[in-house]
Chain A
Amino acid sequence: MMHAVWLIPALPLAGFLILLATGRRLGDPNAGWLATTMMVGAFVVAVGVFFDLMGNPADGRVFQQNLFAWIPVGGLHVDVGFLVDPLSVTMALFVTGVGALIHLYSIGYMHGDERYPKFFVYLNLFAFSMLMLVLSSSFLVTFLGWEGVGACSYFLVAFWFERPTAATAGKKAFVTNRIGDFGFMLAMFLIFTTFGSLNYTDVLGRAGELPHVTATAIALLLFVGAVGKSAQLPLYVWLPDAMEGPTPVSALIHAATMVTAGVFLMVRVNPILDLAPGALTLIATIGALTAFFAATIACAQNDIKKVLAYSTVSQLGYMFLAVGSGAYVAAIFHMVTHAFFKALLFLGAGSVIHGMHDEQNMKKMGGLRKLLPITSGTFIVGWLAIAGVPPFAGFWSKDEILVNAYEKNHLLWFIGLVTALLTAYYMSRQVFLVFYGDQRWKVAADGKSPREAEAKPEHEPAAVKSASPAGHDPAADHGAHGDFKPHESPPAMAYPLVVLAVLAAIGGILRSPLERWLEPVVGERVHHVVSGAGTKVGLGVVTTAGALIGIAIAYSIYLRHRAKESSVEPLVLQRAWYADDIVRTVVEAPSRALANFSAFFVDAKVIDGTVNGIGALVRAGGGRLRRVQTGFVRNYALAVAVGAVAALAYAVARTT
């Protein structure tokens, strides 16, 4: 089975190619089913590979498969090949697993979209890229996947490109990611220069030879890449905007898989990181700060997806905190649980949006619990998981991270703790606003602002445009504005929610198996928690308490209305610390001015002006000389005479 590993990415690739060629003919929903089948197939193969690998002894769980030489140039030899080890298989499993679920969900969600097949084209391409990323045997092929997922993210965020915001968000995502890629590329260059190879086995196997400075440099450069991809400070700005994409995209790419690629990369190169303690500290700090920073913003967002987006940023921060603390397993563990519950939350949110006819403003929701039973039930599971309430999955992973952070640095731990509190708070706020309280949408439906109606055209498709028997009858369900009533989603969307909810609930059990399983990868180098059991339990209690406090505060404000909502949603947080404005004025405006200056002054005036100036000079010179040619024969004779004098003068000079 191990040799079939190439099938894992190949199946989505095949799906992509088939859909590219015949997608339009397959249409809605067959294209979706095809894509989903491919993903399921990939998942099955991944499971097979997993068991195969399990069969090996712990230290023999490495398998490398080379397909063909991709770039063989001099000392640089890069194969397209796969490295099968516990880490990559874990990643592959959850990418294909979660991916398959989201594919399935999308069949329903995207139903009725005019570019339905194309969506799955992109989705499959994304899955392929992501699998290349995680399974690759070399940095360069990882980079191939890395860039591939970035491009797919771009396509999918800008899927509804008619909306300027979507198009802009897609571009922003790509460009910001590219800034990170800059670091990744430099890291590869440095690795090649140092090791003469880009293969993981070569490089990581010889990591011990690295001088400290080089190790730090490589670690930091790779981290720059991770910061871009995983939306850490300061390159996180693209992720909230990326919510312009269809919700399954947000779930798959911007919550579960792509954004965790940075974490994966960090874990992948852990032997190098271990040689660079300074870099680790920086990573941990950035992670903690990001977690806290994003959490604060999430507290004041009204857009249901924006909250989740900032939450994702925040949770990714946790993962980097874990990485920075040397707790690689914890990072992966949190990545997995986060994938479960965040995908769940996103899909749930999508279901809500779907049910609310493209309404994303939580302030216009409320009391949906009864109307969307499956959605609300599963969403609540996700909420408890992310809030860190035991025994849900999120508690375990977050707890482990915080324990490790405590080991590393108390301050970082404290930030993490506060963030946990905030997390519980803003998620509770979301749940209360959406599923509890008054049914504010009854009012909102009539007064739906024209601007928003404008901004969201015929998209978020299934809700408005569906006319298929598989879905729901729009006339019956939606009718006129007057009898607007939110509704539950179709089964294709509901099943994945249920599955994910189960995983989010029980994901915590993976904790110790995962630790053992990943040991060959992170090896003995893994940080063993030195604190005693007492401390650990104590920390767990504190964390739980924090979560509960957060929930309580949210409860008192948003359900009991003990405080004015606006007072806890300051503008500065609503505007996300004005980050976008700062970027616009500090980065964008000067760059644009510089570009304008270069293009229209330096290039057009100075450089081209010089060129044209020389031409003009010749002509002007000609014009002046021309005036000497007066047409008077005596002038001409004078020229001859002067020429003769000059020649004579030379002769005179020559004799003296």
Chain B
Amino acid sequence: MSVPGAWYLGLGAMLFTIGAVGLLVRRNVLVMFMCVELMLNAVNLTFVTFARMLNDIGGQVVVFFVLVVAAAEVVVGLAIIVSIFRRRTEATADDVSLLRG
């Protein structure tokens, strides 16, 4: 019958991890940021699955909020990215390393 929640959750965990690893290995800030979106999606998937498994609408409501947060983050994040990489040809995270030690 219906697919057990564990499968969804496992998928979510994997998606989350791919996102996390992606952020770690990609140098392009935009792609890194997309990876954050992947992670958020993984969380969303997890919430929805839990909502179904627990038969609780709360999990779905949470996803709604996560979406809003994601949107706000994207707006600000992209604004920051634009402001810093405006004059550069590459949006490479490694270029931003003035501060260290």
Contacts and interface: CB of A to CB of B under 8 A. Distances in A.
Assess A/B contact in the complex (Cβ within 8 A). Answer: yes
A626 interface: yes
A629 B93 contact: no
A652 interface: no
Nearest to B23: A637
A641 B97 contact: no
Nearest to A633: B93
Contact of A631 (B20, B25, B27, B97): B97
B96 interface: yes
A68 interface: no
A630 interface: yes
Interface string A627-638: 001111110011
Interface string B68-101: 0000000000000000000000000110111111
A643 to B, nearest CB: 12
B31 to A, nearest CB: 11
A331 to B, nearest CB: 83
B24 interface: yes
Given A630-B100, A631-B99, A638 B24 contact: yes
B93 A632 contact: yes
Contacts of B96: 633
Contact of B101 (A626, A633, A637, A641): A626
Interface string B24-55: 11010000100000000000000000000000
Nearest to B20: A641
B62 to A, nearest CB: 21
A634 B20 contact: no
Nearest to B29: A633
A629 B24 contact: no
Contacts of B98: 631
Nearest to B21: A641
Interface in B1-34: 20, 23-25, 27, 32
A591 to B, nearest CB: 51
B93 A634 contact: yes
A641 B93 CA distance: 17
Of listed B93, B97, B100, residue having the most chain A CB within 10 A? B100
A629 B94 contact: no
A632 B97 contact: yes
Interface residues of A, number: 10
Given A637-B23, A637-B24, A638-B24, A631 B93 contact: no
B99 to A, nearest CB: 6
A630 B23 CA distance: 17
A630 B27 CA distance: 15
B98 to A, nearest CB: 7
Interface in A431-481: none
B21 to A, nearest CB: 8
Contacts of A631: 97-101
A629 B97 CA distance: 10
A634 B101 contact: no
Contacts of A637: 23-24
A641 B25 CA distance: 12
Contact of A634 (B27, B99, B100): B27
A641 to B, nearest CB: 6
Interface in A582-637: 626, 629-634, 637
Nearest to B96: A633
A230 B44 CA distance: 101
Contacts of B101: 626, 629, 631
Contact of A641 (B24, B27, B32, B94): B24
A641 B18 CA distance: 12
Interface in A350-393: none
Interface in B56-71: none
Of listed A626, A633, A638, A641, residue having the most chain B CB within 10 A? A633
A637 B101 CA distance: 16
A455 B27 CA distance: 87
A631 B97 CA distance: 4
A206 to B, nearest CB: 79
Contacts of B99: 631
A648 to B, nearest CB: 11
Contacts of B93: 632-634
A633 B96 CA distance: 8
Nearest to A630: B100
Contacts of B25: 634
A637 B96 CA distance: 14
A633 B98 CA distance: 11
A642 to B, nearest CB: 10
A637 B26 CA distance: 12
A637 B99 CA distance: 15
Contacts of B100: 629-632
A489 to B, nearest CB: 86
Nearest to B97: A631
Contacts of A629: 100-101
Interface in A502-525: none
A631 B96 CA distance: 8
Nearest to A644: B20
Contacts of B97: 630-633
A238 to B, nearest CB: 65
Nearest to B26: A634
Contacts of A641: 20, 24
A518 B24 CA distance: 105
B70 to A, nearest CB: 18
B28 to A, nearest CB: 11
A631 B98 CA distance: 7
A631 B27 CA distance: 14
A641 B20 CA distance: 8
A57 B25 CA distance: 114
A507 to B, nearest CB: 92
Nearest to A638: B24
Given A630-B97, A634-B27, A634-B93, 12 more contacts: A629-B101, A630-B100, A631-B97, A631-B99, A632-B93, A632-B94, A633-B94, A633-B96, A633-B97, A634-B23, A634-B32, A641-B20
Interface of A: 626, 629-634, 637-638, 641
27 contacts: A626-B101, A629-B100, A629-B101, A630-B97, A630-B100, A631-B97, A631-B98, A631-B99, A631-B100, A631-B101, A632-B93, A632-B94, A632-B97, A632-B100, A633-B93, A633-B94, A633-B96, A633-B97, A634-B24, A634-B32, A634-B93, A634-B94, A637-B23, A637-B24, A638-B24, A641-B20, A641-B24
Q: Sorted from nearest, which 8 A-B pairs have the closest CB atoms?
A: A631-B100, A631-B97, A633-B93, A632-B97, A626-B101, A638-B24, A632-B94, A629-B101
